[in-house]
Structure 1
Amino acid sequence: MILLYGADTANIIKKEIESMRKSLNGYTPTLGIVRIGVSPADLSYEKGAVKKMESLSLNTKVFEFDESISSDEFLIEFKKINDDKNIDGILLFRPLPKHIDEKKVIDELDEKKDLDGISYKNIAKIFAGEKDGFAPCTTKAVMKIIESNNIELEGKNVVIVGRSMVIGKPVAMMALSKNATVTICHSKTENLKEICKKADVLIVAIGKAKMINEDYIGDNATVIDVGINFVDGKICGDVDLSNVTNASMATPVPKGVGAVTTSVLAEHLVIAAKNKLDCEIIS
């Protein structure tokens, strides 16, 4: 089984970013990271994102809020960040605490700064097959890994385990745009093992540590593990790779999709900055 390490794809994206930055004429984009609370998963991703931006000489500004902040107070603060002309793109960690009106926050978010594809306009563009919207970074990372490793989707059976708006649904639309035959599975799916075994490409984003083993995987299938779980303080995926021998290729966790996600975030930031500068020139 060939392990698809994210670093290989990330290096390709790095070269694309370096090429795009030439059109910025020395301007350095700034990412605004907005986080409420101290979730271990959020902090892990934030650390990786900040490190990635630093490695590409991009700026990062972290806006951290206590979980006790009220919905109205947070909305006021978020509007300030959203309207800040020095912030070119925003990464908002979700889900927000239950007492925060998430819909109002998302409604406020400028889709041009929405680097993680959570605004309704960007979501609509992904579902419509348009190319100028921002897809969720993790979804885009999955597609980048597939493309950079020359994995053909046209006419293939792609099975996605998980139906969230972060991965399941948008990655299904993007695979469909590549002429794949797509099946979305979830917690209520009957005969899950049998369906998964028919996949040429199995994308797993169920959020259950090491749930998927060899019983779910067909011979010579490609397995993309999007899961990020913490077991005994260690990161692991949704796929138990130690019990998988029949796949042809698979992404490890860590060092798989997650390593590409922050690169996509950086790419989206540079695109957002370029779009902003182009608009300023036209106006």
Structure 2
Amino acid sequence: MRDLGVGFGYLVKGQRWVGGHGKWFGFGLLPGLVTLVLYAAALVGLGYGADDFAAWATPFAGDWSSPWQGLFRGFLTVLVFCFGLFLAVITFTAVTLLVGQPFYESLSEQVDRAEGGDVPESGLPLWRELWISARDSLRVLARVVLFGVLLFALGFIPVVGQTVVPVIGFCVSGFFLAHELTAVALQRRGVEFKDRLRLLRGRRLLTLGFGVPLTLAFLVPFLAVFLMPGAVAGATLMARDLVTPDPAPEPVSPARHTLDKD
């Protein structure tokens, strides 16, 4: 459970870092603002059309008496909108990172530079980095959609669908959100997609401690835009520690062991 707190600590450290570097905070806001406008328009359209979709998808309920038809279709409408919101939360980061690839690469490099040590560079042209980022984002999206469809179906189970399933959904969202954010720094370090998944699965609680609070915060309108620069900075700090092996203990020679005993 300690890892949950450590993961959340990286998120706080990232926000503090950009708070102390105002120039980079403003620099990192631009991609999020562009993406927010696009997603807001899509969610408004979904809000207006979800009830029509529910009616189209349930023709068998057309002859149901009141209030059962309204309750059933209203429940389905809420599920459709929640599913859309779930996908929006997950894909927002991927789309924002894709739109803002040059911005966040620079921000991540600056965090590495400020924290000391090596500043890894991919050495790839921008178009190649964009292609890799888009390809990996589609891989994440495919996994998210599979989980989303499964959780959407489980949402119809009484009680469990309204309690346990949303919790699992936020955990899934948090994990893949952390994966997308750490990809900025890990890709520069030459860590491939499958290796990134394996790395984060090995520290699952740490990953959830970083990603789940951020997922919940992203549900608040406009907050995601302001948290993105700090989220990238915090993910870079976390990535630095994940790929840096713990120092090996210093070997103790027999002579020194004897002296210590004396």
**Which TM-score band applies after superposition, normalised by the shorter structure?**
under 0.3
- Provide the TM-score with structure 1 as the length reference: 0.26
Which structure dedicates a bigger proportion of its chain to strand?
A: 1
Which structure dedicates a bigger proportion of its chain to helix?
A: 2
Q: Which has the larger radius of gyration?
A: 2
- Provide the TM-score with structure 2 as the length reference: 0.28
